[in-house]
């Protein structure tokens, strides 16, 4: 597992965020990142819209992430402090294990 500093660009939905990730040595990488271990409702549902708003309110503009690899679509899978677990405990997402 790798740890990086990241800047939030936008929240895509309740389990996906667009981040600019600081790789060090003045190198950055911008990508849609999947939140590790959670699955939020789809944006086409009212629950999905509520989940996205909740995630927006939880995230600061800059934070540290832990990357656990890539998902099947090539997106980085990340853990953001306790945000992933909080989305589950607050009922905005369900636990997701690959």
Q: Does the predicted model carry a pTM greater than 0.85?
A: yes
- The distance of Cα 55 from the centroid of its chain, to the nearest Å, equals 9
Q: What confidence tens digit (pLDDT) does each residue in 63-86 have?
A: 999 999 999 999 999 999 999 999
2-95 belongs to CATH 3.40.50.2000: no
- The distance of Cα 48 from the centroid of its chain, to the nearest Å, equals 14
Q: Which residue has the tokens 């927006």?
A: 56
| Under 8 Å between Cβ of 72 and 89 | no
Q: What confidence tens digit (pLDDT) does each residue in 47-65 have?
A: 999 999 999 999 999 999 9
Query: Residue 53: what are its φ and ψ, rounded to 5°?
Result: -60, -40
Longest dimension (CA), the chain: 42
Q: In the chain, where are the structural domains located?
A: 2-95
- DSSP for residue 1: -
Token reading at 10: 């936008």
């Amino acid at each position: 597992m790798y740890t990086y500093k990241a800047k939030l660009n936008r929240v895509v939905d309740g389990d996906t965020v667009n981040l600019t990730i600081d790789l060090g040595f003045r190198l950055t990488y911008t990508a849609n990142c999947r939140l590790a271990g959670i699955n939020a409702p789809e944006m086409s549902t009212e629950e999905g819209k509520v989940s996205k708003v909740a995630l927006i309110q939880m995230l600061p503009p800059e934070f540290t992430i832990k990357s656990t690899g890539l998902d099947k679509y090539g997106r980085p899978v990340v853990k953001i402090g306790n945000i992933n677990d909080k989305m589950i405990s607050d009922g905005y997402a369900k636990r997701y294990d690959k």
